[in-house]
Amino acid sequence: MTRPVKREPRITPHPAAGGSTSSSSRLINGGAETSDMDSREATERRLLRSLYRDVKRIITDEREDVERVDSDKFNSIINQVEDLHKSVQKPREQVADAEALLDITNSLVALVKAHGNDGITPSDFVNGLLRDFGRQDGPSTSDESSRNLVAWKDIGLAVSHIFSGCPGCHTMVGPMDTELKQRKAVVGRRRTRPTGSVQPEEVNDSGGKERTDTDKNMATMFSILKNKRSVRLENLVLNRKSFAQTVENLFALSFLVKDGRAEIKVNENGWHLVSPRNAPDAGKVVSGEVAYRHFVFRFDFKDWKVPGS
């Protein structure tokens, strides 16, 4: 929507200043075009989020069709999400894209678990025993021969390595003396009343505040980026032995990106690469020429445990 411009009284311009009227009209038209672009962008973002909600609704309502093996519903949903992902630019749309991908993953996990439940049945187990350890002695009517249709000795030899004991020495670990120790009687210490007042000495904190752990992590991470010039995101922040340190590294990287000292790009192989940048001048940030940047990164303990295990 274009806001109406308030009309000023008509003034006949001086011949020397004939270009002022045309320049002001260009400024007005430029502001109207910017407003139209912002409105169009907001409409496209709302439409994109609405399409993501439709995808999530399809995953929930048509779960049975998605989980069927002979159905192409899963591939169509994946292709639709891939097409929508190409239009994602802002954090809200990134969150919607991640949630849709999480729903698809949960459906796939449920499908795998459902197929895993239909494992080896008792009848399959008995048929396997007869196939591998059965005796083909021909038909017989005696009870003894019917009991010997399976080579039980061969079965015992096949599974004997599971039940064999590990060689070793049997020792008793622990103290030999099990007598109860006598507890010492509690003796209260006599307290003395203070006889005088003491005023603590004031310390002049003129040396400045100490650097926090986050500042130290940011400095260490930035020095690594300056030396390496380009580092993969997982190699920079992932600590396979500590989930807490991984979160601290992500926290430090978010501050570097916010301050404009680091940038994250995706190459043609789909890798997230982090490289250093020169921080913008504070004056440009205040004037609005340079805007702060943020990124959305979904990462929890389950995500860390998969590569960490």
Give strand ranges (E) for the chain. 231-232, 262-266, 272-276
Q: Which CATH number fits domain 213-308: 1.10.10.580, 1.20.120.420, 3.20.20.70, 3.50.50.60?
A: 1.10.10.580
Q: Where are the domains of the chain?
A: 25-117, 213-308
Please give the Cα distance from 222 to 228 (Å, whole number): 10
For residues 18 and 51, is the Cβ–Cβ distance under 8 A? Answer: no
pLDDT computed for residue 129 by the predictor: 86
The full DSSP string for 127-186 is HHHHHHHB-------SHHHHHTSB-HHHHHHHHHHHHPPPP------S-S--PPPPPPPP
pLDDT computed for residue 12 by the predictor: 45
User: How far does Cα 244 stand from its chain's mean position?
Assistant: 14
pLDDT computed for residue 270 by the predictor: 79
Residue 250: DSSP 8-state: H
Residues of the chain with pLDDT under 50: 1-23, 27, 207-208, 308
User: How far does Cα 193 stand from its chain's mean position?
Assistant: 59
pTM of model > 0.75: no
pLDDT computed for residue 31 by the predictor: 57
